[in-house]
Chains A and B, each alone.
Chain A
Amino acid sequence: MSPEKASLTVSKIRDGTVIDHIPAGKALAVLRILSITGKEGLRTAVLMNVESRKLGRKDIIKIENRELSSKEVNAIALVAPTATINIIRNYVVHKKLRVEVPDDIVGILKCPNPTCITNKPREHVVSRFKVASRSPLVLQCVYCGTIIREDEVEKLLMA
């Protein structure tokens, strides 16, 4: 199925956000970053493993009636660095955005170190990572110093 054919199966959205060029298989991780579970009642289309000229295969997410903030957009870069964001208003692309890993990643990832203060029950410390390297992506816990690499990020996403 070509992207054109895929677009035939999902209607255009009037207002909202289209996240395109997500690496194949990462759409669900993107939804987790955006805390979209389906219970919010947002009309959402998730296309996975569709053909892409740029990526071979890719995932696409269309969310109606929700415009992503720049903070949300950048958090997507943690699992989908190639993603492009189109903000749609009245069926036309109002704004195109590229994602970039933010310098501070706050409250998105769980520190893998069990004795990190951010994992202490009842203390309510919000996890915080800083970028130690962008390519390859290396993050470091601000509290305990633990280093995490690109391939570990997805499994550390908070539910």
Chain B
Amino acid sequence: MGFRGRDVISILDFTRGDLEELFGLADYFSSNRRSYKLLEDYVVALAFFEPSTRTRLSFETAAKLLGAKVIGFTSEEGTSLAKGETFADTIRMLDGYADMIVVRHKNEGAALYAAEIAEHPVINAGDGKQHHPTQAMLDLFTIWKLFNKVDGLVYAVVGDLRYGRAASSFIYGLTLFEPEKVYLVSPPLLRARPEVVRVLKEKGVKYEEKRSVEEVIGEIDVMYVTRVQKERFPDPLEYERVKGSYRITLKLLEKAKDHMKILHPLPRVDEIDPEVDSTRHAAYFTQARFGVPVRMALLSLIVGVKP
């Protein structure tokens, strides 16, 4: 299918071949870091209805390095949404100004709805607890760079698998490849949602639900850790019950394989001990840096230009 002119709503809309094409170009941008004029005549709108640091800034950096003009907002305050304008009308307006719209919103399905309204491509930068496809793209790219492959590895996805869109999208992304096994590690309250588990089953991925990382630490090649998504808990008491229920420490890592790498979409709160940052296992800051070349590759492929 390729990326040209397409919306990016879920990573499941793409094939392994699409992602490999993306990785190839991201790799190029990663080793040839400079300004380009590939998107010189384009305007990219960043419509962040929900807070963001990395995703917004890496999209902005990516667009600017490609020569595009960037417009947008970073919260509903300061826009006419505060006056009661609908999401739909805001998207219609941006569609008139920009050639691509990057949307983040707290409601699941907002990006798909935006794509139905807009004529220009819409990129989902996170819709509620559901999808975060560009995060999954850079997560998989990081693994592809670190291991030269995504297939054949044993993964543990750790943390808030219920409300975490990065975790869900990463699991979806793995189903496009051939992982050896995927452990879903979470407190019982934060298990992966039925629709996520359903995709694992449908695609025939070997998976197992576990309660603690200790059970699998010696077996895994990649540990994907996520934060408990405080902002998505309908009941604050429920959050209090699970917060701090898992923590990656130096002691835990004593039992890990030498080459085991830890990824985290960030921000982290207390789920990875800062002492872990300086170990050979920590790959989350490298991962965050790859956000720029991966998003450069994505924007270029959607427009249909290559360096």
Give A contacts to B, CB under 8 Å. Answer: 113-118, 120, 122-125, 132, 140-147
Contacts and interface: CB of A to CB of B under 8 A. Distances in A.
B132 to A, nearest CB: 13
B82 to A, nearest CB: 14
B280 interface: no
How many interface residues does chain B have, given as a range? 20 to 34
A154 to B, nearest CB: 19
Contact of A120 (B87, B194, B232): B87
A125 B234 CA distance: 23
Contacts of B109: 116-118, 125, 141-144
Interface string B91-134: 00000000000000111111011000000000000011110000
Given A117-B87, A117-B105, A132-B198, 9 more contacts: A115-B106, A115-B128, A115-B232, A117-B113, A123-B86, A123-B87, A123-B88, A143-B108, A145-B130
A116 B131 CA distance: 12
B195 interface: yes
Interface centre among B108, B110, B232 (most CB of A within 10 A): B108
B106 A140 contact: no
A120 B112 CA distance: 14
A36 to B, nearest CB: 30
Contacts of A122: 86
Nearest to B193: A145
Nearest to B9: A143
B108 A123 contact: no
Nearest to A111: B109
Contacts of B232: 115
A140 B195 contact: yes
A101 B132 CA distance: 31
Nearest to B88: A123
Contact of B113 (A125, A141, A146): A125
A98 B89 CA distance: 42
B32 to A, nearest CB: 37
14 contacts: A117-B105, A117-B108, A117-B110, A117-B112, A120-B87, A123-B113, A124-B88, A141-B109, A143-B108, A143-B113, A144-B128, A144-B130, A147-B194, A147-B195
